[in-house]
Amino acid sequence: MWKGRFSKATADLVQQYGESISYDWRLYKHDIAGSIAHARAQVKAGILTQDEFQQIEAGLRAIEKDIDAGNFDFSIELEDIHMNIESELTKRIGAAGGKLHTARSRNDQVATDTRLYCREEIDTITTQLKELQAALLKKAEQYADAVIPGYTHLQRGQPVTVGHHLLAYVEMFARDIDRLADARKRVNVSPLGSGALAGSTINLDRQQIAEELGFDRVTTNSMDAISDRDYIMELLFDFALVGTHLSRISEDLILWCSSEFSFATLSDAHTTGSSLMPQKKNPDVCEITRGKSGRLYGNLVSLLTAAKGLPLTYNRDLQEDKEPLFDSIDTLKIALAVNAEMIADMTVNVEACEAAASDPMLLATDLADYLVKNGVPFRSAHELVGQAVAVSVESKTPLDKIDLSKISEHYGADANAVFSLETALKARTNPGAPSIENVKAEVARWKQSL
């Protein structure tokens, strides 16, 4: 494609080092769609005849079918998906194919292809996130009133329900969906027509091209348009944050499935055994998911590093955007699919949950609230309950069996009535709190929303 300037062929090692066809082949549908829209605008500008356009469109559609069917030989010598398709098109239809690249560069071509690809994958991942939310929601509804300890610092804190706990992840994934929807607005902008860096003296109708390709608008600065990879970095951050949320729920489930907790059981289909220890049932899906979050982080950092020192405009360093992007998308899509399936098959061991929630220490804060309601300042109430807890620990007597009146006259005869999980949860009626009524209302709201 640059033989007019060079007298010596590109070295084999350089071809191997610089090729991207081994991974950017997956942009072929988007490359073909962009080329057809570009060619249609060339007709309007008088660069192509209608007959030439029809040859180009038919040729590109035929190439697309061949790639779909696996009957296309990609060439490393042609470097990338753009030149592989254009070269094959010219072989098939002749001179008209050689006109296709008029008024565009591979710089704005790849930027267009990548934006179209990202837009499609955002929509796919958004659907998968909603499917994962639906799986969580079904379990939250099933176990809306199954009481478990809530934890801070991995120490028992206050009572919640399994439903409330799972709905926390529904909220996290909802924020992920919102972030992707917001990022999609910045993705869905057409750079085609920006050329290598300064547009072209042959002015095609960029708005027409953008509308045909489903873009909301066109870019307004040609130099920024072809060097911008902000949208990819933003998506890699969004994907990494989804990975964080997947890793957090994985950690919870790993704990819940341990013998020490026994709150949940994963199906045999989503666990593995040990090659040595016959009794083992390992939550490998959760562990792999937890591990893959680091991969998602690494892809983000890789592109941030590649882009941080680049002068305007295009530099070949930007070829390093695709492998992290493709890898993060592939990693996240299978992670979302397998986790949604695993959670749908998960069962909660209600008896074990209830046994853990029966710890009266979970209601220590409720006891402090009881004192506050009887006129004791909270800091004083906190101290008095702390004294009761110390007596309980030292005497190895459950907190609800302590004679609280011996600690302070502020403890009335009704103080021990605080130690009722039903009462404790029923009192937590503020928006966002885990009363069973609130949890069921949230389940209903999310079912309608999803």
Structure tokens of 367? Answer: 């006891």
Can you tell me which residue has the tokens 């890898």?
A: 327
Q: Is 328 a known active-site residue? A: no
Angle at 208 between CA 204 and CA 209, to 5 degrees: 75
Nearest alpha carbon to residue 86 among 210, 26, 95: 95
Structure tokens of 32? Answer: 């073909």
Q: How far apart are CA 285 and CA 250, in angstroms?
A: 8
Can you tell me which residue has the tokens 């090729």?
A: 19
β-bridge mates for residue 158, sequence order: 150
Q: How far apart are CA 383 and CA 367, in angstroms?
A: 11
Structure tokens of 221? Answer: 């600065």
Structure tokens of 5? Answer: 């300037």
Nearest alpha carbon to residue 307 among 238, 241, 239, 227: 227
Q: What are phi and psi of 356, to 5 degrees?
A: -70, -35
Catalytic pick from 274, 395, 405, 449? 274
Can you tell me which residue has the tokens 């590649």?
A: 306
Nearest alpha carbon to residue 235 among 326, 360, 362, 127: 326
Q: Is 153 a known active-site residue? A: yes
Active site residues: 153, 274
